[in-house]
């Protein structure tokens, strides 16, 4: 594949990831977000693995700058570049991308579904662990406290999983539709 065709493919994938990240600015149920979908989509379509991790993280960080400093500014003193709990979200996204590398080099509906379910579970486990570890956590730093944190997160898990499956379907489906509908893009993906 020549560089022009590769640039078109990478540009479309990156643009779709950034648009997905910006969808977090729209009203939505708690945890119904594109976060894991962005990581899986990047892992499936970027040939360079570092891009599959870096592009979703940059998109998420840019969106977080807007969320934290515009929509949620009343909760912070000064400009927020990064928050402690966000670290756990970013770590989980990098791990979800690795799951994508393992499952999605050969894409099928079954592989995408397994990767998405795995991503939802990993995101839940990692981010709730991070919430429990947080200095602002209301849970004691005991095994019972950790289990209580996980139990409290279960209602959010179902919304996370629904969001993951929704956004994975939108991202993968839109990409395949564009690939079939736009002749110049079809040849870029040959």
Domain-embedded: residue 189: no
- pLDDT range class, residue 2, cuts 50, 70, 90: low
- Mean pLDDT value of segment 138-161: 95
40, 42, 150 from 98: Cα distances, Å: 8, 10, 23
Share of the chain above pLDDT 90, in %: 68
CATH code at 16? Answer: 1.10.1760
Evaluate whether residue 29 is within a structural domain.
yes
Residue 190 in any domain: the answer is: no
- Of 47-61, 74-88, 117-131, 135-149, the poorest mean pLDDT is in 74-88
pLDDT at 146 over 50: yes
List pLDDT tens digits, range 9-67: 889 999 999 999 999 999 999 999 999 999 999 999 998 999 999 999 999 999 988 88
Give the pLDDT band (50/70/90) at residue 136: confident
Q: What's the confidence (pLDDT) of residue 4?
A: 60
* Residue 5 confidence (pLDDT): 60
Residue 186 pLDDT level (bands cut at 50, 70, 90): low
Confidence class of residue 153 from pLDDT cuts 50, 70 and 90? very high
Residues of the domain holding 101: 3-183
Residue 179's pLDDT band (boundaries 50, 70, 90)? confident
Tokens 């360079």 correspond to 48
What is residue 190's predicted lDDT score, i.e. its pLDDT?
Answer: 46
Q: Give the predicted TM-score (pTM) of the model.
A: 0.89
Asked whether residue 188 is assigned to any structural domain, the reply reads: no
In a domain, 138, yes or no: yes
Number of domains into which the chain is organized: 1
Establish if 59 belongs to a structural domain.
yes
Asked whether residue 20 is assigned to any structural domain, the reply reads yes
**Sign of dihedral through CA atoms 111, 114, 118, 120?**
positive
pLDDT at position 189: 58
């Amino acid at each position: 594949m020549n560089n022009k065709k590769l640039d078109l493919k990478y540009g479309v994938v990156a643009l779709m990831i950034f648009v997905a990240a910006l969808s977090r600015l729209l009203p939505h149920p708690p945890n119904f977000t594109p976060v894991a979908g962005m990581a899986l989509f990047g892992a499936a379509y970027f040939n360079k693995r570092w891009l599959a991790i870096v592009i979703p993280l940059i998109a998420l960080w840019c969106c977080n700058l807007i969320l934290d400093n515009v929509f949620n500014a009343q909760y912070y003193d000064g400009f927020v570049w990064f928050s402690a709990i966000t670290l756990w979200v970013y770590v989980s996204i990098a791990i979800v991308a690795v799951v994508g590398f393992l499952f999605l080099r050969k894409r099928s509906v079954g592989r995408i579904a397994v990767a998405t379910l795995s991503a939802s579970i990993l995101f839940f486990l990692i981010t709730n662990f991070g919430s429990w570890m947080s200095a602002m956590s209301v849970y004691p730093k005991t095994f019972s406290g950790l289990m209580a944190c996980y139990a409290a997160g279960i209602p959010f898990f179902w919304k996370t999983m629904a969001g993951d499956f929704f956004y994975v379907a939108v991202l993968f489906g839109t990409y395949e539709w564009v690939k079939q509908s736009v002749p110049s893009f079809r040849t870029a993906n040959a």
